Amino acid sequence: MTDPKPRQIIVHGHIFKNAGTSFDWSLKRSFGEGFIDHRDREDKYQRAPAYLAGFLDATPGLKAIASHHLYRWMPLPQRKRVNLIPCFLLRHPIERVQSVYNFERRQESDTPGAVAAKKMNFKDFIAWRMCHLGGGAVMNYQIRYCSGRRKKGLAIADELIPETADYLSSVALTGIVDRYDESMVYMEERLREFFPKIDLAYTRQNVGSQAKASASTEEKVDAIYEELGSVARDLEENNKADLALYSLANKSLDSHIAQIPDFEHKLEEFRNRSKKLN
């Protein structure tokens, strides 16, 4: 008797304010009950790779799982005849902090961040956040998340940047938020080896105003720097590792795309699929 084919499971590290809800929407559309949004579970704060290993064993029909807390399960557990496919979306770290602030202002919560955002303007909130709550949500958040070191202090060793970039490029599937359509075509191309019918076409979820949504990343970042004034330099300094990781991830995406035959046609076809959904 031959060994059964290994299970293939997409594991989405849903980074706070990085378009993860749109990606999860597509995974749910493709896999139905085979997709689990782990934040809906009572045990969502469970730590350690051993928890994820047990969860996988107890959920035989699982095709894809998304979690805001994937960093707590890293390094991902090795299971016999189970292949985990980590997926991440990265965002320009300076643009991202604006979304953090807007979310904190909107959410109905009494957390310190939500309370502060409702009392402060954007500039004061970022200055406050960098001095309180560990600064985590607005200071090198993405590299600490993707490296599984979110709770191991704010200092980023120089070697962690290329190490994490290599993991995101060679082990994980990594997209860029402001290149979302290109990223989804790349991910579809890679994932169809295991899921031939996967369709990551989408309708955007949790999007801000249309005017802001249509501005380029460069325009958004320039506007943020202008609004932050003297705080901008500290914010940039506190995101040097994330800025480097974002740049390397863009170059990696370029490299992966260059290897996809007839990419422009596939991109156009993907956009047409998404337009029909909208």
CATH code of residue 176: 3.40.50
Is 63 domain-assigned? Answer: yes
Confidence of residue 106 (pLDDT cuts 50, 70, 90): very high
CB 128 within 8 A of CB 258: no
Q: How many domains does the chain have?
A: 1
Tens digit of pLDDT for each residue in 145-201?
A: 999 886 666 678 888 999 999 999 999 999 999 999 999 999 999 999 999 999 999
| Cβ within 8 Å of residue 235, ≥6 positions away | 94, 97, 126, 130, 138, 228
Is 136 domain-assigned? Answer: yes
Is 3 domain-assigned? Answer: no
- Cis before 112? omega within 30: no
Query: Token digits for 275?
Result: 């337009």
Domain that holds residue 201: 8-277
Is 166 domain-assigned? Answer: yes
Is 38 domain-assigned? Answer: yes
Is 256 domain-assigned? Answer: yes
Is 262 domain-assigned? Answer: yes
